[in-house]
Amino acid sequence: MTLGAAALATAVLLTAAGCGGDKPKWYGADGKPNTETPAEAPVNVAVTAPAEGATNVPAATEIAYTTDGATSTVELTDAAGNKIDGALRADKSSWVPGKMLTWGTQYTAKITGTSASGKSESKTVTFTTMAKPGSTGKASTVIGDNQTLGVGMPIIVSFSNDIAKDQRANVQKRLFVTSNPPQEGIWYWWNNKEVHFRPKEYWQAGTTLSVRAAIGGLLMGNNRYGSQDLTINTKVGSRIIMEADNATKQMTVTKDGQLLRTIPVSFGKKATPSASGNFVIMIKNEWEWFDSASFGVPNDSADGYRTKVYYPQRITWDGEYIHSAPWSEGDQGRRNVSHGCTNISAANAQWLYGVTQIGDPVIIKGTEEHVKWQNGWTDWDITWTEYVKGSAIPYVPPAVAPSAGPSTSGSASPSASTN
């Protein structure tokens, strides 16, 4: 055994020696091992927008660049050296400043690419934003900072001017929603002036939401630019869901999956039926005047009325509410006698008012008619497959679970959602 191993080793050495006169590549010209490491390739960085020295740049500009580095950073500063924070879009197509840039101001962007081994190279561009335009528009929302929302609440952004169809994708790309925990969602163009964002499923209870309509400095059509950004930071409360069925004339109220109360109801009579569908609470007040004249029925007619109603919670624009109706308590749970609202007892109405939030889902089943699309915030009354068709940016299902960061479809921040 020992002799065989020695003979084999000798054969290997002889074979190696007989491979020809060329020295192995790892030997230098002096016949000694070469210890030099080949030069590392440069880390290429190229800025594609804005161009170096560019002027009249929109105040909503983004920094677009390419690099073959493993990582990259962007440093954006104004002429005074003040730093502007920002973030890279999830698709890495551009870097989005964290706030609107100032009109008529010079900025410098330094982009640095770094290789896996730590080698870095930078590219710098200087540009100047446009002067403030003569025509501007703004964005607004019904949602307040730090407001607690129901799990069905859509994010609603309204514009002061019409957004033409050929501008909607550009505007939508600047609408960022960031949810924690991350949840998939998308924008739906409600009309020329309003866009909604809803998640694929109800928001998870306890979700925090950061919304930025980054339209400041953005061309919105007809030579009109956004005057400023709109930002909201809010949260989602408990999962409160109300389900009412005409077959039983009962409403169940659940919180985080647990039944809180079953409430007898009276829906609209046959002449004025309640609508079935998927609603959310839009407005709630301790009391309101209900006046039939507001929808064309004189107060002094047989079906007319003017009544002070307590604890009304609105679910449609044409006047359907859940509210206190002490006059129909004997009918509740038995027969329908209302003008279209969901009547509940005074005690139940006061209790329910104390439980709900704007955006809590209301599901009504089995009545004589179905709610018309957009009669209220009916975002949940169509399927997700239908809802994504309202986006100005083609819907692409996420390859992985959504992650927090800015977005252009549905969650929020450049890496969040903007579809």
Q: Please write the tens of the pLDDT for every residue from 48-85.
A: 999 999 999 999 999 999 999 899 999 999 999 999 99
Q: Evaluate the omega torsion of the peptide bond into residue 97 and state whether it is cis, within 30 degrees of 0.
A: no
For residue 346, what pLDDT is reported? 98
For residue 398, what pLDDT is reported? 87
For residue 191, what pLDDT is reported? 97
pLDDT mean across residues, the chain:
88
Of 167, 133, 134, the C-alpha closest to 57 is 133
Q: Please write the tens of the pLDDT for every residue from 233-273.
A: 999 999 999 999 999 999 999 999 999 999 999 999 999 99
Active-site position among 19, 196, 339, 341: 341
The rounded distance, in Å, linking the Cα atoms of 332 and 153 is 28
For residue 8, what pLDDT is reported? 32
Residue 359 has pLDDT above 90, yes or no: yes
For residue 302, what pLDDT is reported? 52
For residue 411, what pLDDT is reported? 37
Task: Give the total residue count for the chain.
Answer: 419
Q: Please write the tens of the pLDDT for every residue from 105-161.
A: 999 999 999 999 999 999 999 999 999 999 999 999 999 999 999 999 999 999 999
The rounded distance, in Å, linking the Cα atoms of 54 and 261 is 64
Contact assessment for residue 191 and residue 165, using Cβ atoms and an 8 Å cutoff: no
Grade residue 100 by pLDDT with cuts at 50, 70 and 90: very high
Is residue 323 among the annotated active site residues? yes
Active-site position among 19, 323, 339, 370: 323
For residue 168, what pLDDT is reported? 97
Total-model pTM: 0.85
Please check whether the domain covering 240-378 is classified as CATH 2.40.440.10. Answer: yes
**What's the topology of domain 45-128?**
Immunoglobulin-like (2.60.40)
The more confident residue out of 393 and 415 is: 393
User: What's the token pair of residue 169?
Assistant: 């994708």
Is residue 341 among the annotated active site residues? yes
Q: Which range has the worst mean pLDDT, 20-29, 201-210, 297-306?
A: 20-29
For residue 24, what pLDDT is reported? 53
3-state secondary structure string, the chain?
CHHHHHHHHHHHHHHHHCCCCCCCCCECCCCCECCCCCCCCCCCEEEEECCCCCCCECCCCCEEEEECCCEEEEEEEECCCCEECEEECCCCCCEEECCCCCCCCEEEEEEEEECCCCCEEEEEEEEEECCCCCCEECEECCCCCCCEECCCCCEEEEECCCCCHHHHHHHHCCEEEEEECCCCEEEEEEECCEEEEEECCCCCCCCEEEEEECCECCECCCCCEECCCEEEEEEECCCEEEEEECCCCEEEEEECCEEEEEEECECECCCCCCEEEEEECCEECCEEEEEHHHHCCCCCCCCCCEEEEECCEECCCCCCEEEECHHHCCCCCCCCCECCCEEECHHHHHHHHHHCCCCCEEEEECCCEECCCCCCCCHHHCCHHHHHHHCCCCCCCCCCCCCCCCCCCCCCCCCCECC
For residue 64, what pLDDT is reported? 98
For residue 17, what pLDDT is reported? 39
Q: Which range has the worst mean pLDDT, 298-307, 361-370, 386-395?
A: 298-307
**Domain ranges (residues) in the chain:** 45-128, 240-378
For residue 412, what pLDDT is reported? 37
To the nearest whole percent, how much of the chain has pLDDT over 90?
78
